[in-house]
Amino acid sequence: MEKKITVIRGDGIGPEIVTEAIKVLDKTAEKFGHKFEYTDILMGGCSIDACGVPLTDEAVATAKAADAVLLGAIGGNTSTSPWYKLEPKLRPEAGLLKIRKELGLFANLRPAVLYSQLKDACPLREDIVENGFDMMIMRELTGGLYFGDRKTEVRDGLETAVDTLVYNENEIRRIAIKGFDIAMKRRKKVTSVDKANVLDSSRLWRKIVNEVAKDYPEVELEHMLVDNCAMQLVRDPAQFDVVLTENMFGDILSDEAAMVSGSLGMLASASLNDTKFGLYEPSHGSAPDIAGQDKANPIATIISAAMMLRYSFDMDKEADAIEAAVSKVLDEGYRTGDISSEGCTIVGCRKMGDLIAERI
């Protein structure tokens, strides 16, 4: 099978970690008989330097012509980089907002995985996480409170701010379908998170999710109020498979899940549109302080590449092979500096990529 991948290496450690992800993808393609064609585009600070804007229309067109996009990281030091002296619409992160909008990326997938080998990095008690956990936070990305009408005005002599939370049934249905589709590739359980005891938007959310669930009889569905979900994430994170929720709740819960998993260097993410197309990236930033020093952890980007194979290309066996290779390297005691512990062998970014590729 042949697939076209648009590559955004970006800023800081982005080029280093993307290089290792491509190394692993190429080894996977060789083993399973595929061909991946890569086309680079600029986005972020490097695009500002070369083109004067964080993302050009030509780069967007290239991304749209691909089967998926692999992104490293963008941005720099916000206090010292000249990029952050520009107006907001010209700063590096504006490129990310633009590409999400242009590609229609409404579904954010953020896995939170605690590998048993790294359980010492988890802040939770050992008896809670002794067997690790593996959940997927499925967040609606383009609706809700963050995109509703807002205003600040004076009412009865008092300065008053108003933010509007709006969802229509189509927005809910399409993210619910994505959530159930993802669950079918995992352990077939969806936890839909809302605040239906208070909010009309949540009551509509629950109604539409129940309707979608009828088309997925193999998937177990449970509803959970957001405050209870926040508690359950620290009480028993292993109970969750796919957590399906709206934009603001997903923003908060995904950060909580990331915290209990122990290391940002291990956290992948994806943003999908209403086809198989997606943009895949690590959840961490560009870490300019260690850029070019071979210290970066490429695992989150490598796992993001595995997600691309699974969710955009339906290459489940290939994704399994990458994830198994990561686990094997960890079993063997290899670590980058950010996840190191006593008795482990510390390796650099390039070596970690080599080790994972060798075990595909």
Catalytic residue chosen out of the listed positions 188, 195, 295, 351: 195
Q: What is the rounded distance in angstroms from the CA atom of residue 344 to the CA atom of residue 228?
A: 37
d(CA 239, CA 228): 13
Which residue is listed with tokens 């605690």? 114
User: Is 127 annotated in the active site?
Assistant: no
289 is catalytic: no
- 99: closest CA among 150, 41, 49? 41
Q: Is residue 67 annotated as a catalytic residue, yes or no?
A: no
351 given a catalytic annotation: no
Cα dist. 306→164, 265, 267, 273, 328 in Å? 37, 15, 12, 18, 15
Catalytic site residue from 146, 328, 351, 354 = 146
- Calculate ∠ Cα 17-26-182, nearest 5°: 75
Strand partners of residue 5:
38, 68
The residues facing 256 across adjacent strands are: none
Please, what is the angle between helix 226-235 and helix 247-261, to 10°? 10
- Residue type at 91? R
Active-site hit among 49, 200, 227, 314: 227
| Catalytically annotated residue among 194, 216, 251, 311 | 251
CA distance linking residue 184 with residue 105, whole number of Å: 21
Taking CA atoms, 343 is separated from 125, 163, 334, 340, in Å, by: 22, 51, 10, 9
Which tokens hold the place of 55? 């993302």
CA–CA distance, 8 with 18 (Å, rounded to integer): 8
What type of residue sits at position 52? G
The set of residues, in sequence order, having a beta carbon less than 8 Å from that of 112 and lying 6+ positions away, is: 133, 134, 135, 136, 137, 237, 254, 257, 258, 260, 261, 267
Active site residue 274: no
CA distance 96 to 281: 11
3-state secondary structure of 56: coil
CB-hemisphere CA count at 13 Å for 212?
25
> Do the Cβ atoms of 284 and 143 come closer than 8 Å?
no
Out of 255, 289, 314, 331, which one is annotated catalytic?
255
Active site residues: 146, 195, 227, 251, 255
